[in-house]
Structure 1
Amino acid sequence: MPKPTPVEDLIIPPQDQKICGTICVCQMTAVLSAVAIVYLTVAIYMPYTRAIASGIDPTPIMCTTTRAVNKENCDWGSCGEWCLSKTSGACIQIYVNVRKNGSSLLLAECGSAANKTCYGIDQENAKKYHCIRDECRNLTGTFNCTEGKCINITDAFECAFRETDPPLKCSGRRGKITCIDVHGLFSCNRGTCRKIRTPYNCDRRCVDIPTRNKNVIVLSGDRVFLARCAKLAQEDGGNIVWTDSGEEVLMLSCHAVHNGTSGVVAVDCINAALLPRADIADLTNFTYLQYLYTMRATPNRLIAPSEVELTLANDSRLMINLEGCVNTLADECKEFLKDYGRDGTDHNAKARFPCFYTENNPDTVVARFDLDATFRQFLVALVLPTVLVVVSCITLLLCQKTVEVGDDAKMRFKGCASGQAEMQMHPNDPVSPL
């Protein structure tokens, strides 16, 4: 067996790897931070300056979606997934009615509360009949069609109409060609469909709403809240605006209803109306309840103001933020357009939500505006990459001044040169055997 070779004493200090690693990390940090600053200029810095100069009131008001329009060539869009390409190609434009906030009411001494949710048609998950595939040949009932794709709404809605267009025969040899681009509301019988002309009225089939012993009915989108309450008061101030007399039923339209510390709180209530108790039975349906609310009940502006007197602007443009786009690339716009684009064309409740506007320009409103959060994002996005760039550059400058490369191609600090000289082997020192 050969004799093992002993490990020689290191003449050069083991600094090369650490110095090289430090320089590489600092260079990478400086480059990535500089790239981040360029990206954040578009994503954070410029939106912050626009938010400061916009003059938008940070107090939210209320918006109601009136229509959502698909456009092929857009000069503006409600939401774009990437700000650099937000105005190119097709987009969706959402228009809203803008109004002041309604009353926030406290429903006191309530009992026998009930909730009823009247679901319409889920457009995303509902079965669609594609006429181009000859799936419309046996349609029977009421169908809501969009560019040749039809959804059965017979079980969810009751539609009243008078006039229809001439019939289209979706069955037979040429049926799929005849109905390839049907659009609108159709009444069909075994594949023969007639387009329903306006005006027509489609109300949700929501039955067995328990109105017995209820004197307060709150309509909130697709939800109906019913209870027997002794009085209603303003949430701020506590002024009583209505007391139960035993002869009337109070009906309201509110944005939301939730439980508070002092009772049930109804937020953003408008269009208060009083209905004689004799006009409503123990059970009713959503269609008849809407009829009573709009046609039979007597408005009372002292309890909650009407929507007309609160309106600030009609048909204003809605954008997700001041830029009308997001840079997260996380499909935010898909969810935004789904929630805020509900304009009632599918016969469901229209979207109703808080929004923000400029007093001297109510023609454009935004759904997201938080000046404090925008400032915090700006501060973090400015300080963090800037500090990283500065620290990395200072470290690289120090390395340039304090590190040298020797004849052996190794890097070491200049202060270690004298130590290295002392560590050089003397000519008379013994040499380790091989």
Structure 2
Amino acid sequence: MGKKKKIPVEDLIIPPQDQRICGTICVCQMTLVLSSVALVYLTVAIYMPSTRAFQSGIDENPVMCTTTRNARPDSADWCSCGEWCLSKTSGGGCNQIYVNLRNNGTNLTFQNCTNSANKTCYGIDQDRADKARCIMDECKNLTGTFNCTEGQCLNITDAFECIFHNTGESLKCSGRRGKITCMDIKGLFSCNRGTCKKIRTPYNCDRRCVDIPTRNKNIVILSGDKVYLSQCQNAINTETQEEVWNESADNVVMVSCFLIKNTSDQVEAVDCINGTVLDKNMLQDLTNFTYLNYMHVAMGMSVPEIAPPDLDLTISNESKLMINLEGCVNTLMDECAFFLKEYGRDGADHNARARFPCFYAPSNKNIVVARFDLDLTYKQFLVASVIPSTLFVVSCLVLLLCQKTIYVGDDAKMRFKGCADTDTILASKNDIANSQRDVTDAGGGDNIMAL
């Protein structure tokens, strides 16, 4: 049998495509996909939370909250702050912050103030305080007063002075056996070179904040861990512009305020509560932070005209605090860590409790939020709705237009309908020129033959 003839295969030449057409289609397809994904994601991140905010009935005028409890239960159906809304923390592992909810206090202006003094009483900074881990054999040389939890002891010697009478049996934290014994210690301990005794109740631990100058001072403003003292002429209610106190009364005014603004000759205090007055002879030249708080609460005579008692302003004794209506954020910037550090101070470490503006709905006093801004929510909703929706519609229309106006020729090249293609025109011109040349050549040959 003879060999089969090999049929030659013609190489197909695909002409280059118009970059404008291809680029337009690619950009529109990419825009369509991205805008579709954005609309799906923004439904959970923006549209649904915004709708809840519009329908929540929360008053935009803030009130005041004071943290009363910061719990971390084993199981929880809500969290004060979650780091990612699409996968909220469920079960254990989240903090629950409870607050006291009340109306705003009085804004005061103290005029013609001189001889001012400012004292900050630092407590324990949990992040920077010295900590000893007994599991690492760091408790063998403990000396001072320590607050221990599950084998980790926090040194509170420099921040607090504890008075106690009853102690437990000696517990030695040095050596192998001592390290194992101290791994589970819990409570307040008095230690000397690794030998610790548990401090039993009753005991009293006061902050070491002494030498607060009260001589020639007639106003004392407490603001968290800060104390502001001055000699002022009078006190004015900022809202009503009425004088609520004058130095002619020859006594000392004490108030607890959220914020203090000090200018050259006057002091502006925001959200003041528990206004009281003391006799001047009840304060010596120097005092300490604990005694000032005791005098303010137990010994002062309440004067609601200066600043109302907090009990008269209370809306709810215990409400759930959330960072927003969702109880979560989507920025992934550790916002919850900062939130818990700022708003989770419940006074358990003998520091001042967190005090801050918050928002609530009169129909639901059990839940308060730290962040609420309807104007900002509306702007975010508008931007998140208009931009991706516009891109989605425009990209769809352009792709539909391309489908109607672009066709693929026999040479696999995309062209606009009704538009002449440059390559086609050139090819036609070349074909016409070649035809004319062939005719001319054929006429010349015939003449030669005739001759």
TM-score, normalisation: structure 1: 0.91
- 2:174 maps to a residue whose letter is S
Residues in 1 aligned to 2:197 and 2:297: alpha-carbon distance in whole angstroms: 30
- 2:103 maps to a residue whose letter is K
Residues in 1 aligned to 2:156 and 2:408: alpha-carbon distance in whole angstroms: 80
Residues in 2 aligned to 1:73 and 1:374: alpha-carbon distance in whole angstroms: 32
Q: Secondary structure at the match of 1:57?
A: coil
The answer to whether the 8 Å contact 1:65/1:340 transfers is yes
Which residue, out of 254, 269, 273, partners 1:270?
273
Tell me what 1:31 maps to.
Answer: 33
Which residue, out of 300, 306, 310, partners 1:307?
310
Tell me what 2:429 maps to.
Answer: 425
Residues in 2 aligned to 1:147 and 1:361: alpha-carbon distance in whole angstroms: 39
Tell me what 2:48 maps to.
Answer: 46
Q: Deviation at 1:111? A: 1.8
Q: Secondary structure at the match of 1:302?
A: coil
- 2:190 maps to a residue whose letter is S
Tell me what 2:18 maps to.
Answer: 16
Residues in 1 aligned to 2:396 and 2:169: alpha-carbon distance in whole angstroms: 77
Which residue, out of 63, 79, 82, partners 2:81?
79
- Show the 5 A alignment for 1:262-341: 263-341=266-344
Distance change >3 Å, CA 352–CA 161, structure 1 → 2: farther
Q: Deviation at 1:134? A: 1.4
Q: Secondary structure at the match of 1:168?
A: strand
Tell me what 1:70 maps to.
Answer: 72
- 1:96 maps to a residue whose letter is V
- Show the 5 A alignment for 1:217-232: 217-232=220-235
Distance change >3 Å, CA 418–CA 123, structure 1 → 2: closer
Which residue, out of 234, 238, 244, partners 2:237?
234
Q: Deviation at 1:98? A: 1.1
Distance change >3 Å, CA 18–CA 280, structure 1 → 2: same
- 2:217 maps to a residue whose letter is K
Residues in 2 aligned to 1:198 and 1:51: alpha-carbon distance in whole angstroms: 48
- Show the 5 A alignment for 1:129-148: 129-148=132-151
Tell me what 1:8 maps to.
Answer: none
Which residue, out of 178, 190, 202, partners 1:175?
178
Q: Deviation at 1:400? A: 1.2
Q: Secondary structure at the match of 2:232?
A: strand
What fraction of aligned residue pairs are identical, expressed as a percent?
A: 64
Residues in 1 aligned to 2:289 and 2:390: alpha-carbon distance in whole angstroms: 61
The answer to whether the 8 Å contact 1:13/1:412 transfers is no
The answer to whether the 8 Å contact 1:252/1:270 transfers is yes
Q: Deviation at 1:264? A: 2.1
Q: Secondary structure at the match of 1:301?
A: coil
- Show the 5 A alignment for 1:119-198: 119-198=122-201
1:59 paired to 2:61: yes
Which segment is superposed worse, 384-393 or 107-116? 107-116
Tell me what 1:3 maps to.
Answer: none
Which residue, out of 404, 409, 419, partners 2:407?
404
Number of residue-to-residue matches in the alignment? 420
Tell me what 2:111 maps to.
Answer: 108
The answer to whether the 8 Å contact 2:415/2:421 transfers is no
Provide Cα deviations, 1:349-378, integer angstroms capped at 9, x if missing partner: 111111111223212211111111111111
1:394 paired to 2:397: yes
The answer to whether the 8 Å contact 2:112/2:265 transfers is no
TM-score, normalisation: structure 2: 0.88
Residues in 2 aligned to 1:167 and 1:360: alpha-carbon distance in whole angstroms: 55
Residues in 1 aligned to 2:263 and 2:52: alpha-carbon distance in whole angstroms: 37
- 1:252 maps to a residue whose letter is V
Residues in 2 aligned to 1:138 and 1:38: alpha-carbon distance in whole angstroms: 59
The answer to whether the 8 Å contact 1:136/1:170 transfers is yes
Q: Secondary structure at the match of 2:27?
A: helix
Which segment is superposed worse, 27-36 or 68-77? 68-77
1:359 paired to 2:373: no
Provide Cα deviations, 1:3-46, integer angstroms capped at 9, x if missing partner: xxxxxxxxx99971121111111111111111111111111111
Distance change >3 Å, CA 328–CA 345, structure 1 → 2: same
> RMSD of aligned C-alpha atoms?
2.3
Tell me what 2:418 maps to.
Answer: 415
- 1:237 maps to a residue whose letter is T
Residues in 2 aligned to 1:52 and 1:188: alpha-carbon distance in whole angstroms: 57
The answer to whether the 8 Å contact 1:271/1:301 transfers is yes
Distance change >3 Å, CA 200–CA 407, structure 1 → 2: farther
The answer to whether the 8 Å contact 1:51/1:322 transfers is yes
Which segment is superposed worse, 415-424 or 219-228? 415-424
Residues in 2 aligned to 1:31 and 1:151: alpha-carbon distance in whole angstroms: 54
Q: Deviation at 1:137? A: 1.6
Provide Cα deviations, 1:179-229, integer angstroms capped at 9, x if missing partner: 112223222222232333444332221222222221111010111111111
Which segment is superposed worse, 209-218 or 406-415? 406-415
Q: Deviation at 1:406? A: 2.4
Q: Secondary structure at the match of 2:368?
A: strand
Distance change >3 Å, CA 171–CA 315, structure 1 → 2: farther
Provide Cα deviations, 1:303-325, integer angstroms capped at 9, x if missing partner: 10111111111222111111111
Distance change >3 Å, CA 167–CA 302, structure 1 → 2: farther
Q: Secondary structure at the match of 1:68?
A: strand
Tell me what 2:447 maps to.
Answer: none
- 1:367 maps to a residue whose letter is A
Residues in 1 aligned to 2:244 and 2:376: alpha-carbon distance in whole angstroms: 37
- Larger helix percent: 2
Q: Secondary structure at the match of 1:308?
A: helix
Q: Deviation at 1:428? A: 5.3
Mark the runs of 5 or more structure 2 residues left unpaired by the alignment: 1-13, 436-451
